[in-house]
Chains A and B, each alone.
Chain A
Amino acid sequence: MDLNNFLVISAILFSIGLYGALTKKHLVVIFMCIELMFNAVNLALVGFSKYQNLTLVNLNGHIFVIFIIAVAAAEIALGLAIVMSIYKNRDTIFVTDIDSLKK
């Protein structure tokens, strides 16, 4: 197992997430894709942290990841609340329909 394996997995996950975030219409699915991208990044960070050439134990990457997980959880709570209220107001959660700024 070397660093490249981690990074390849991470890149694949990130690409899938990005693709989904850019193409899906459903807001909740987009959220899920964004989570996928977060986790791709987390995986890369953990990998970097693990394969650092240092004698001392270094937990910088791990701490970073824990922070990101916490922030992402908070963001999802907020985001889903917004999705709920949009659905209540507009009866739709397809992003293509939410374009009132354009009009």
Chain B
Amino acid sequence: MDQLLWTIFFSPFISFVILFFIFKPFFGKMVRLSSFISIFAIGLSTLLSILILLDLSINQKVITFKPNEFLSVGNLNFGISLILDELTVVMLVVVTSISLLVQIFSIGYMSGDKGYIRYFAFLSLFTTAMLGLVLASNIIQLFIFWELVGLSSYLLIGFWHHKPSAVAAAKKAFIITRIGDFGLLLAILYLFVQKSEFASNSLNPIMIQDIIIAAKEGYLSDFVITIFALGIFTGAIGKSAQFPLHTWLPDAMEGPTPVSALIHAATMVAAGVFLVARFFPVFEASLIAMNTLIVVGGITALFAASIALAMNDIKKVLAYSTISQLGYMMLALGVGGLSAAIFHLFTHAFFKALLFLGAGSISHSTGTFDMNKMGGLRKIMPWTYITFIIGSLSLLGIFPLSGFWSKDEILSASWSSSGIIANIGFYLAFITVFITSFYMFRAIFLTFHGEFQGDISKGDLHESPKVMIIPLCILSVASIFIGFIVNPIISIAFIPSHWFSDFIGHTSGKAHVNIFTNWFVYGATLISFLAILLAYLIYISKNSLFIKVFDKFRFARQILINKYYFDYIYEEVIVKKIFLNGIAKGLNWFDTNIVDRVFGFIGWLSLNIGILLRQMQNGQLQTYGGILSLGIILIMIFFIFF
């Protein structure tokens, strides 16, 4: 088993090494072969991941492998090892399978690009980092891969580095996630401070398993647990683009679209959710941490969805939708629905990757992401249209698509959870369903219906090549069925009922809730259809009454287009006013007036002492001899009289 896991991890890594260090410098012409190597490597990983999932689902057990010693500082041993549990194996399957499909899609999407080999090399690097992250068994290893994931995200956002906007977006993504990473690092360091608590129970503070045991058994005080959990969550906020560190994700859409599908929709942004899920018992032990999850998740879900209403760039709509869905997952974790959150992560990975790849397919044909320059594409791109509709319906949570099952698990989990904050969380999530439906169908109507508005002639539009359509179809099938198949409400064939929930949730978190007995299952579907109807009236039939009402909300629209002025606040107020004019200026004053003065004084002092001492060094041997004699006489006096 150990070798199998290492193979999963190393296979994309070797592909990265081969592509980046051999193909890119020496065989720059063999682009097709390079993509095949990459796809073969990730295909191998996918296959093995699925095998391990099957194996683990039959004999449920958690395996931590014996660490290979790597670094030993004092009495702290840091070994590299892997962990295999239910969470890991689900993430393995998600990461590898989405990577595989995205890479296949990229053959078509990136064909003819100058950086083709570099692109595939970076995708492999990203997959490696992501696999390392989910397989890590100690927090230092986890942190290393956490940063590597951030690095490969940076490289891929700035992939078209000749575009200044892409470079700026890459920098922004890196710096903003770095703020979150700092919190994570502090949490890790804080655990080291608590080393003695661990040692007295013969646990190791860097092993994730030991941290979980310590949290479960109550070896740590509430305060320590809360601080640690909040630190971890700060990391998750940065990586999963939660409020208020969400601003980097929409900008990250500057990267190639398959990258957005893989990194900024399905896998990397879900790493934050994964991280919280990994340390879930720690969060469970602290009420404050759990409530923070609910508040941040709920606010993010509603707030990001509302911005998506006003975006005209189809990828930005999807980006805000992703932020909103990640908010859902955080909310689910906050109300104790570990399995609901991971289930949503699982289904979301498929349908959101599908939507992003669909957007990529559209722009492949129209050459733009601006929805005002699209329209009427449904006849020209039928496959893209159908798959996009499937992805959207799944995102909306329409019965019986994948999204329905996972979204209602989340709603159920928050409904059945007690406490005023959880109740608020439920209503935030419920309202978000309406908004989600509206913006998704607004996007669909603007893109695929009506008349074509673009600059290019209609004859240039075309359906994408097969190599792009096939991954879309596979993802559509997954978006329709996978939710029901992995987590059915009744046993079908060899799959027991609620398999996924039991698989993930048997260690901690709430068990599943029976799904069809709650009013909001029907309520959510109803408001979804209402929202679709509203979108239809405004964007297709252009009903004058609705448009008139809609225009009344112009001021709200202005706020939404400006994304609640968050970018403005961050750049103008925080960066320019506070950092540049406040802190930087203050530090500059301190530097010139205190630090420089101190050193200037030291310099002045030594200069003047030097001038004094220089008088002695006059180059005259006789002076030296005189001083020497004086010294001897002094020594003689000393010996004679004392």
**Interface pair A23/B622, CB less than 8 Å apart:** yes
Instruction: Kindly identify which residue among B618, B619, B626 contacts A22, using a CB–CB cutoff of 8 Å.
Output: B626
Return the CB mask of A71-100 against B: 1 if under 8 Å, else 0.
Answer: 000000000000000000000000110010
Q: Is B621 an interface residue (CB 8 A)?
A: yes
In the complex the two chains form, what is the Cα distance from A22 to B620 in whole Å?
10
Closest to A102 in B: B619
Closest to B632 in A: A18
Q: Which residues of A27-73 are within 8 A (CB) of B?
A: none
Instruction: Kindly identify which residue among B618, B622, B625 contacts A102, using a CB–CB cutoff of 8 Å.
Output: B618
Q: Is B77 an interface residue (CB 8 A)?
A: no
Q: Which residues of B594-642 are within 8 A (CB) of A?
A: 618-622, 625-626, 629
Q: List A contacts of B626 (CB < 8 A).
A: 22
Instruction: Kindly identify which residue among A21, A96, A99, A101 contacts B625, using a CB–CB cutoff of 8 Å.
Output: A21
**Interface pair B619/A99, CB less than 8 Å apart:** yes
In the complex the two chains form, what is the Cα distance from A23 to B622 in whole Å?
7
Q: Which residues of B504-563 are within 8 A (CB) of A?
A: none
Q: With A18-B629, A22-B629 in contact, do A99 and B620 touch (Cβ < 8 Å)? A: yes
Q: List B contacts of A101 (CB < 8 A).
A: 619
In the complex the two chains form, what is the Cα distance from A102 to B615 in whole Å?
12
B562 to chain A, nearest CB (A): 73
**Interface pair A95/B621, CB less than 8 Å apart:** yes
**Interface pair B629/A96, CB less than 8 Å apart:** no
In the complex the two chains form, what is the Cα distance from A19 to B620 in whole Å?
15
In the complex the two chains form, what is the Cα distance from A102 to B629 in whole Å?
22
Closest to A96 in B: B620
Q: List B contacts of A21 (CB < 8 A).
A: 622, 625
Q: List A contacts of B622 (CB < 8 A).
A: 21-23, 95
Q: List B contacts of A96 (CB < 8 A).
A: 620
**Interface core residue of A22, A95, A101 (most chain B CB under 10 Å):** A22
Question: What are 15 A-B pairs at a CB distance below 8 A?
Answer: A18-B629, A21-B622, A21-B625, A22-B625, A22-B626, A22-B629, A23-B622, A95-B620, A95-B621, A95-B622, A96-B620, A99-B619, A99-B620, A101-B619, A102-B618
A residues sitting closer than 8 Å to B (CB atoms) are: 18, 21-23, 95-96, 99, 101-102
9 closest Cβ contacts across the A-B interface?
A102-B619, A99-B619, A22-B626, A22-B622, A22-B625, A18-B629, A96-B620, A95-B622, A101-B619
B residues sitting closer than 8 Å to A (CB atoms) are: 618-622, 625-626, 629
Q: Beyond A22-B629, A23-B622, A102-B618: 6 further Cβ-contacts under 8 Å? A: A22-B625, A95-B621, A95-B622, A99-B619, A101-B619, A102-B619
